Chain A
């Protein structure tokens, strides 16, 4: 269990580091989405209307998500795991509702998702990392979506 947790945190840490400042305008202050912003942002980018399962989970972890949107609020395992969990639930529904996307190549899947979630194309380095992440996954759409939707770039406000 502990090994699994450490591995998950490692994956999240890789995600957190996998963004480039050059890709988006840098505001005067960097903040992150708070719990409410994250919930509705996930709904907006996936196009998923929150299901009872999503809402139940959200209510249970809401207070572990960032309250005020300060960067330091996301820098702890409990918050990171909760963000990942919420993103995974939205992405599970997204994958279910977008079966045709899973028929496409890995590169196309990543391109579609990065356009939706990051609003840009992936850099070569990001593409390489994410291709290796989803290459052996059973549900590539779910894995890629969850990875991107819980990344620091997506969390940034």
Chain B
């Protein structure tokens, strides 16, 4: 049975850190301000705007130590990753989840943070939050629906998503735990101890900056490793900034996906607002949802 961390109350403290790529302090200022306006206290980690001169926000040890510290600190009620990038895969096996397992808290983020979503789902059955990170507070209005979905998710308000139809959608109704995240990360974790099972679940996927053939290859990996055949439902989010080879692949990314999952009967929706774009809804990984895909609309209800 999935464990759901306590939702946040006014005055609760959110830890903000960079477990992967570097982010400067000025880029998180809006995020901190808005979280405070929402009534939360923010503890800003040293990995945010740290002294790192390279790609990472700090050394592996620095990033690991800070994550571990916030994970184990009872006064921190949720951990918001300021950004993704690349780097959680380098420290995941060294994080101790013993205390977190007893006192779960919300771990928030997307993209590279999918490593945490998958690892926690595969090993501890604790819900996590796939949601916009600090950068989104620079690009979106705090009262817009995407940042508001994060606020609602944190405070425990149930969210009902409603979305437009897409011609590739497959109608139906699915009930199951919601799991997913970044396609490249999920493909890359296949066969490791962070590899999650998808049987009977609603899987959502998004990606950015990949080649069409690369997306095709990763979907083949999901398919051939048994992650697509027993789903309850499938949600395809944004596949943004896609690239093609000199000789065109001959299909759009959505056509590639449509054709690979053609043989399955579960409901599928395309163009769902999750991914590397403004339209990025907070989704609770591990929590039960109902996905309904009809001729006129798509709904996803907790």
Q: Do A and B associate with each other?
A: no
Chain B residues packing against A (C-beta within 8 Å): none
